[in-house]
Amino acid sequence: MDTTLELMGVALAALLSENMVLVTCMGIGTHQRSFQEPREAIRTGACLTVVMVLGVLFAWPLDLLVLSRSGLSQFRVLAFSLLIPGLVALLRRFLQMCIPELSRRMDSNLSSISTNCAALGAALLVSQRSYGLGSALIFALCGGIGATLALASFASLQNEVDLDRCPKSFQGVPIQLITAGLMAMALVGYHGLYLG
């Protein structure tokens, strides 16, 4: 059974030393608006968290009960990459039919993360590292929260810091990448963080 220390270690790892956006760069596959405005960033991050948790919730038993038992673990990537976009599509449909107001606000964010690598990555990592269910869920939840914080920080920096004061050849995407790189450098110190 997962001890509290193990769970905390997994949580901290997903938040800091393996941040999905800044360190492992898995969660950056969303539309550009979520990097520009804080509100969009928080919405996309929330959607990402929900999708990651749901994805792990479905992928973990799938892997444990179906794929590993029958020796078909080579189909893991294929199975997950069908499962997770399917989950996102189902979720979008459900929101459209049942909670239309939420769908109106979040649909573009949800659609932008349908093929986000963080969701697939969380499921794969959890299976590869043989986490228990508790650790897996904590990993997905904190990974999503870490991605949200990173996206929101980045978007707010864009608002607060005037990014047009660099040389002309750096304006636009290059200075954004430099900013992201500086933020990622701040997380280098958590590399190898291990509780216990």
Partner 1 sequence: MSAAFSPKRLSPQLRQPSTTRAMMLDMIVALLPALGMAAFFFGPRTLILCAVSMVSCVFFEGLYRALTRQSLTIGDLSACVTGLLLALSLPPSTPYWVPVMGGAFAIIVVKQFYGGMGRNFMNPALAGRMLAGTLPMLMTTWPQPLQQLTHAAPDAVSAATPMAYLHEGALPPQSLDLMFLGERGGCMGEVSSFMLLLGLTYLVLRRVIALRIPCSYLGTVALISFFFPPAGIPALTWTAYQLMGGGLLLGACFFATDPATSPVTPRGQVMFGAGCGLLTVLLRSYSSYPEGVGWAILTMNCMVWLLDRLGLPRQFGAGRSSTTRAYLAQVRASLAEIKFVLPKVELRIKEKKAGAAPGEVYLDQLRALAKTVGPLAGVVAVTCLLIFTVHRFTDLDTARAEVQNQRDVLAQAMPMAAVGAETPYRANGALSITAGYDAESALIGYCVEVQTQGFSGPITMTVGVDLNGAVTGVAVTSHSETDRVGTAAMTPAALARYIGRSGTIRSTGPNSVDTVSGATATSKAITAGVNRALNIVAHLDTEGAINYEDSQ
Q: Which of 26, 30, 25 is nearest to 41 (CA)?
A: 30
Contact of 124 with 136, CB cutoff 8 Å? no
Helix (H, G, I), strand (E, B) or coil at 168: helix
- Rounded least distance, CB 93 to partner 1, Å: 10
Q: By rule CB under 8 A, what count of residues binds partner 1?
A: 40
Q: Which of 135, 128, 126, 129 is nearest to 1 (CA)?
A: 135
Contact of 128 with 55, CB cutoff 8 Å? no
Verify binding: residue 1, partner 1, rule CB under 8 A.
no
List the one residue from 3, 82, 92, 137 that touches partner 1 (CB under 8 A): 82
Verify binding: residue 66, partner 1, rule CB under 8 A.
no
Q: Which two tokens stand for residue 122?
A: 């969380």
CA atoms of 86 and 55, how far apart (whole Å): 10
Q: What x-and-dash track marks residues 17-56 binding partner 1 by CB under 8 A?
A: ----------------------------------------
Stretch of 60-68, 73-81, 109-117, 136-144 contacting partner 1, by CB under 8 A: 73-81
Verify binding: residue 58, partner 1, rule CB under 8 A.
no
List the one residue from 66, 102, 130, 177 that touches partner 1 (CB under 8 A): 102
List the one residue from 89, 90, 100, 172 that touches partner 1 (CB under 8 A): 100
Contact of 80 with 123, CB cutoff 8 Å? yes
Verify binding: residue 68, partner 1, rule CB under 8 A.
no
Residue 190, amino acid: Y
Backbone CA torsion sign across 73, 117, 138, 196: positive
Verify binding: residue 98, partner 1, rule CB under 8 A.
yes
Q: Which two tokens stand for residue 19?
A: 């941040």
Q: Footprint of partner 1 on residues 127-186 (CB under 8 A)?
A: 152-153, 156-157, 159-163, 165-167, 170, 175, 178-179, 182-183, 185-186
Q: Which two tokens stand for residue 172?
A: 């636009």
Which residues are near partner 1 by CB under 8 A? 12, 74-75, 78, 82, 97-102, 152-153, 156-157, 159-163, 165-167, 170, 175, 178-179, 182-183, 185-195
